[in-house]
Amino acid sequence: MLRRTLLAAAGSDRTRALVERSPGSRQVVKRYVAGPATDDAVAVADALIEDGLLATLDHLGEDTTDANQAILVKEAYLLLLERLAAAGLTPHAEVSVKLSAIGQSLSSDGEKIALEHAHAICEGAQRAGTTVTFDMEDHSTTDSTLKIVAELRRDYPWAGIVLQAYLRRTEADCKDFATPGSRVRLCKGAYREPESVAYQTTQDVDLSFVRCMRTLMAGEGYPMLATHDPRLIEIGGALAVRNGRGIGSYEFQMLFGVRPHEQKRLASAGERMRVYVPYGSEWYGYLMRRLAERPANLGFFARSLLSK
């Protein structure tokens, strides 16, 4: 119930204005977001890599309704990729992109514009010697996102895709995407979805995650297991052993600020561990989804909102 309320608040302009104006919200944002500038993202990636971790950087923003804004986001990624390469952080650092931030949700020619911008970002990543993974948003965009990534893979076979275990369709999608070299990030899914398309209980989502993981780990692609859930991480490790997957043929992924000690523990144990680092000023929707996953953080959030 609380999760659904928070996810509804993620789309509310009124709540957004209230939260963004609150001086205390900065404290909470700092925990999950590198900072507003490109340099902040590069500095956090540098520190993570120094600690033996990998990074994927996300320029915050989604549901762009302005074609010029979509161009600015594309340019922000190109600048970031140049800076990462100049700092010697590629290929340990890559980027994650939301297609809705680069035009997918524009009313006219959205898909075409997003594909063009995504193409330019992939070209920039190739120049920088690294990769791009395309985030998955709400279920109304799944087909379009899969289609765009399939198109991009003709030129950039390393382009990564995200699949969400809470969607009923995902088990079948995992079979389709477990092909040689295919980089697939598996996550539980972070949006408010109807019962017709998505499992609603924690148990059903977890069971689907395990089925999807089995398919990906037994397949020929490169699975990226994106979860903080200790049981699923343990099962992922066991599936790697069962399928004879050595280090370097799959990886774990977690979000910046969530279970940092576990991130370092896995890396010290020799696992490839990538941290998803958001940066930029459009943090509102991202923060509300993180609170929905962990309502225990709400007390901290509420206290921060009230503080000066």
Catalytic residue chosen out of the listed positions 138, 153, 183, 185: 185
Q: How far is the CB of 241 from ligand FDA (least distance, A)?
A: 21
Contacts of 121 (CB under 8 A, 6+ apart): 74, 77, 78, 81, 95, 97, 102, 132
Residue of 69, 171, 229, 237 that binds ligand FDA (CB under 6 A) = 229
Q: What is the smallest separation between the CB atom of 108 and ligand FDA, expressed in angstroms?
A: 25
Number of residues interacting with ligand FDA: please give it, by CB under 6 A.
24
Q: Which span (47-55, 171-179, 239-247, 290-298) binds ligand FDA, by CB under 6 A?
A: 290-298
Q: CB-wise, 153 or 188, nearer to ligand FDA?
A: 188
189 binds ligand FDA (CB under 6 A): yes
Let me know if 135 is a catalytic residue.
yes
Q: Please give the structure tokens belonging to residue 173.
A: 């999608």
Q: x-or-dash pattern for ligand FDA, window 256-285, by CB under 6 A?
A: --xx----------------x---------
Closest to ligand FDA by CB, 128 or 187: 187
Does 146 sit near ligand FDA (CB under 6 A)?
no
Candidates 33-41, 102-110, 111-119, 254-262 — which segment interacts with ligand FDA by CB under 6 A?
254-262
Q: Six-digit token pair at 96?
A: 């994650």
Cα–Cα nearest to 304, from 35, 28, 18: 28
144 in contact with ligand FDA (CB under 6 A):
no
39 is catalytic: no
H-state helical runs in the chain: 2-10, 13-21, 25-32, 38-50, 67-86, 110-128, 142-152, 170-177, 202-218, 230-242, 260-268, 284-293, 298-306
191 binds ligand FDA (CB under 6 A): yes
Point out the catalytic residue in the list 135, 138, 173, 206: 135
Report how far apart the first and last C-alpha atoms of the chain are (Å, whole number): 30
Asked if 60 is part of the footprint of ligand FDA (rule: CB under 6 A), the reply reads no
Query: Is 89 among the residues that bind ligand FDA (CB under 6 A)?
Result: no
Distance set, CA 294 to CA 196, 206, 228, 275 (Å): 24, 16, 11, 18
> Of 88 and 274, which has the nearer Cβ to ligand FDA?
274
Q: Provide the minimum distance between the beta carbon of 105 and ligand FDA in the complex, in angstroms, as a whole number.
A: 15
CA distance linking residue 2 with residue 261, whole number of Å:
27
Task: Show Cβ contacts of residue 215 under 8 Å, excluding neighbours closer than 6 positions.
Answer: 171, 174, 175, 178
> Are 59 and 76 spatial neighbours (Cβ–Cβ below 8 Å)?
yes
Tell the burial category of 287 from Cβ atoms under 10 Å away from its Cβ (0-12, 13-18, 19+).
buried
SS3 164: strand
Interface residues for ligand FDA in 109-138 (CB under 6 A)?
135-136
Candidate residues 9, 60, 190, 273; the one interacting with ligand FDA per rule CB under 6 A: 190
Smallest distance from the beta carbon of 137 to ligand FDA, in angstroms? 7
Nearest to ligand FDA of 92, 294 (CB atom): 294
Chain centroid to CA 68: 24
Residues 130, 155, 187, 28, CA torsion sign = positive
Catalytic positions, please? 135, 185
Which residues contact ligand FDA (rule: CB under 6 A)?
135-136, 162, 164, 185, 187-191, 226-229, 253-255, 258-259, 276, 290, 293-294, 297
